[in-house]
């Protein structure tokens, strides 16, 4: 997909053709419109940030494993902060053009309060319905094949299905045993130094040590959450503290996407064996 170049000198001019309908909207509709307008402003801001930062190789630079993913998360966070500060005023303009009324900040407050009141057990992982379409690349499959014996031994040692281990490796590092994230997580299962030390891993770049350490930690998370794989994966990605804090899968887009991806790979490996 080609990158979208943004050259906007007047962020309001594209709204000039929207007719002021003076329609009457119910309270629920106004809340939805206010939230949608603010989200659109945030999305546009993120696109502008992306366009401005691409000449430097991204906000975090070109070097480092996973920087592209962290760039996206960082840009999204900054865009949200800029949008919430009302420095653009775009959301307010959109709302007024559509409803004919001035933007009421209380509408957004109501929308976010409603989201917070959702029972965490009812949070659905975005994209989970798409797991059947997730497939690893041939290159990553070739890389991970070298570690099949280590994975099978770790699976027997810690009682974790080998396809779960493979899928976590595939999601964490795509089978690259030398991978280093911008957060300094290392190796096939992306272990932080402190976690690796607690697990008895001396060299995170050693495939055998890394896989055994990562599988041991995954087994601990599975036991901690009563065998619930999705919660264990959420803890592996976001930390058990966040799982406990939200009493379930944290509402983090990165974590939810992570779980979806791992589950997709598991489905792929299971089908390959059938």
Catalytic, 115? Answer no
Q: Which of 41, 75, 172, 209 is catalytic?
A: 172
**Residue 72, pLDDT score:** 47
Rounded CA-CA distance 172/176 in Å is 9
**Residue 107, pLDDT score:** 60
The candidate with the shortest Cα–Cα distance to 254, out of 98, 35, 40, 70, is 70
- What DSSP state is assigned to residue 266? H
- Which domains are present in the chain? 18-117 (no CATH), 121-273 (1.10.530.10)
**Residue 84, pLDDT score:** 53
Give the predicted TM-score (pTM) of the model.
Answer: 0.56
Angle of helix 207-224 relative to helix 229-238, nearest 10 degrees?
Answer: 120
**Residue 21, pLDDT score:** 44
Helices (H), the chain: 27-53, 67-84, 90-99, 105-116, 138-145, 148-158, 162-173, 193-198, 207-224, 229-238, 240-245, 253-273
Taking 50 as the pLDDT cut, the residues of the chain under it are 1, 8, 11, 14-22, 59-60, 62-75, 77, 79-80, 83, 86-87, 115-123
**Residue 69, pLDDT score:** 43
Q: Cβ(60)–Cβ(70) under 8 Å? A: yes
**Residue 102, pLDDT score:** 75
């Amino acid at each position: 997909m080609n990158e979208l170049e943004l050259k906007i000198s007047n962020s309001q001019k594209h709204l000039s053709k929207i007719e002021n309908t003076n329609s009457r909207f119910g309270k629920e509709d106004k809340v939805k419109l206010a939230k949608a307008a603010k989200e659109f402003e945030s999305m546009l801001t993120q696109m502008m940030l992306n366009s401005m930062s691409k000449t430097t190789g991204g906000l975090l630079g070109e070097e480092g494993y996973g920087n592209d993913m962290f760039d996206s998360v960082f840009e999204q966070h900054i865009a949200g902060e800029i949008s919430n500060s009302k420095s653009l005023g775009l959301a307010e303009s959109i709302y007024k053009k559509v409803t004919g009324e001035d933007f009421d900040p209380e509408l957004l407050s109501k929308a976010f309060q409603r989201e917070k009141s959702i029972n965490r057990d009812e949070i659905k992982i975005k994209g989970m319905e798409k797991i059947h379409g997730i497939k690893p690349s041939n290159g990553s499959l070739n890389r991970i094949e070298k570690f099949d014996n280590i994975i099978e031994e770790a699976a027997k040692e810690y009682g974790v299905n080998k396809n779960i281990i493979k899928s976590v490796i595939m999601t964490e590092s795509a089978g690259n045993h030398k991978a280093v994230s911008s957060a300094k997580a290392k190796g096939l299962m992306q272990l932080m130094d402190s976690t690796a030390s607690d697990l008895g891993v001396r060299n995170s770049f050693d495939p055998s040590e890394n896989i055994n350490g990562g599988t041991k930690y995954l087994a601990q998370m599975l036991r901690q959450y009563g065998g619930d794989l999705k919660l264990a994966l959420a803890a592996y990605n976001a930390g058990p503290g966040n799982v406990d804090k939200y009493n379930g899968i944290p509402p983090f887009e990165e974590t939810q996407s992570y779980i979806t991806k791992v589950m997709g790979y598991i489905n792929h490996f299971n089908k390959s064996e059938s």
